[in-house]
Homo-oligomer: A and B are copies of this chain.
Amino acid sequence: MVFVKTHDISELNSGTIGKEVVLGGWVEDLRKLGKMTFITLRDVSGISQIIVKGELNDNLEELNRQSVISVRGIVQETKARDFDFEIKAEEIDVLAKAIHPLPVDPIGRLESNIDTRLNHRALDMRNQKTASIFKLRHHVLEILRKTLAEKKFIEITTPKIIGSASEGGANLFSLDYFGKTAYLAQSPQLYKEQMTIGLERVYEISNFYRAENSHTGRHLSEFTSIDIEAAFMDYNDVMNILESLVMGVYKFVSVNCKKEQENIGHTIEIPKSPFERITYTQVIEELKKVGEKVEFGDDLLDSHLRIIGKNHPGFYFLTDWPMKLKPFYIREKDEDSKLSRSFDLQYGYLELSSGGTRLHNPETLKSRLKEQGLDPAQFADHLQTFDWGMPPHSGWGMGLDRLMTTLIGIDNVREVVLYPRDPDRLSP
């Protein structure tokens, strides 16, 4: 390959008029008019029109749409409505031919269902709507990490292969690890707590695993989680951090990703802040008022959350859950030990994040493990760290995929994950 791309299409401007450029991209459209061919060329950055005259057309015989070409030519002004500039071709190389017909229409004129698109995910990425989702995701990750670093969080990488079934052990994938049984981590919970002992504030953005036989638009077997844990913070502090991160994401992409919003056909509205903070007890009262049979201590069912979600559209925190509904590591409230220092971040009925203040006293932690029917001996590696000067700490985990669905205004996480994994889908 001698060809070297000199410009992305979006880099063409009035300064490049009259200059020779080399572009590379995909033939999105191709129309012959007499001895001329008009090609719409797309690369990752945009589209341009290529004018092909004379012998160069020989190259284009039987060239299917979506084939890959490189074009050397001169930039000129255009009268065509859809383009800012056009290229008068001087040389065209066909780098890869596409078959015809393609299994899904990458222009998106013919809609394919999600399963067909996922089976042909690479081609689906030529659809500008899909590509824009993943460009947005890139920017969301960028702004999340930038903000966390500014707030003095240190990025860590915890192991995904773990030796014991932490956090209760339900729904874990297991594997053979050199003759031992190992598991895929569901979350970095115990490790991130341990790290506050030295690094104070840590975060991780990584994939985790849940062997749950769910068939919904919001559960996957492999999902991306954003996790933070912070020493010397209470659950209100980490709720504030979570709210400012979510607001930061919305503000950034709303302002900086106009083209992606256009392609997706969805305008990202900046949510109202501060987010409402409703206690679990208030929610129970709300549900009783509309005739739901629910008592303090009951977990909230999907049907309950749909009612609450209608009353409180958009983002809100659901706080102060009963201790008995929370994992062993969550700390009780001083004023009422039946209540916990915990919260979920909700978007309507959808749970985005769960967090709280953690227990940091090893004796209380052991009691709570036993209360929940867990064996402290199974947690020996974790518990020992609480004897080494474990600071008070709080944190949360948030599903990145779910956050992305709120941003994009769709309700299937499969749309925002490149190659989703669920009980029925293990390929491509």
Binding site for B on A (CB under 8 A): 1, 3, 5, 8, 24, 26-27, 43-44, 66-68, 70, 95-99, 102-103, 106, 120-127, 130-131, 134-135, 137-138, 141-142, 145, 149, 152, 154-164, 173-178, 180, 182, 184, 191, 194-195, 197-201, 206-207, 209, 211, 213, 221-222, 224, 231-232, 234, 357, 360-361, 381-382, 384-392, 417-421, 423, 426-428
Contact = CB atoms under 8 A, between A and B. Distances in A.
Contacts of A123: 197-198, 385, 388
Given A142-B149, A195-B418, 12 more contacts: A1-B392, A44-B152, A97-B389, A99-B387, A120-B388, A122-B388, A135-B154, A159-B421, A160-B160, A160-B222, A163-B426, A191-B419
26 contacts: A8-B152, A24-B232, A44-B154, A95-B360, A96-B360, A96-B390, A98-B387, A99-B388, A121-B194, A126-B198, A126-B388, A134-B154, A134-B199, A137-B155, A138-B156, A156-B418, A159-B420, A161-B173, A161-B222, A161-B421, A162-B427, A164-B427, A174-B175, A177-B426, A178-B213, A381-B427
Contacts of A390: 68, 96
A152 to B, nearest CB: 7
A160 B423 contact: no
A333 to B, nearest CB: 11
Contacts of A155: 137-138, 141-142
Given A44-B199, A163-B427, A211-B178, A157 B418 contact: yes
A127 to B, nearest CB: 8
A116 B84 CA distance: 65
A197 B427 contact: no
B1 A68 contact: no
B125 A5 contact: no
Contact of A231 (B24, B209, B384, B391): B24
Contacts of A177: 173, 221, 426
Nearest to A386: B96
B154 A194 contact: no
A358 to B, nearest CB: 11
A357 B384 CA distance: 50
A102 B390 CA distance: 13
Contacts of A360: 95-96
A165 to B, nearest CB: 12
B385 A426 contact: no
A122 B421 contact: no
A382 B1 CA distance: 23
A210 to B, nearest CB: 11
A232 B427 contact: no
Contacts of A102: 388
Contacts of A191: 418-419
Contacts of A176: 173-174
A156 B125 CA distance: 12
Contacts of A173: 161, 175-177
Contact of A388 (B98, B152, B392): B98
Contact of A199 (B125, B211, B423, B427): B125
A180 B426 contact: yes
Contacts of A157: 207, 224, 417-418
Contacts of A421: 159, 161
Residue from A106, A124, A159, A199 whose CB has the most chain B CB atoms within 10 Å: A159
Contact of A122 (B44, B127, B198): B198
A310 to B, nearest CB: 33
A283 to B, nearest CB: 25
A428 B152 contact: no
Contacts of A5: 232
B209 A207 contact: no
B131 A198 contact: yes
Among A1, A106, A211, A232, find the residue whose CB has the most chain B CB atoms closer than 10 A: A232
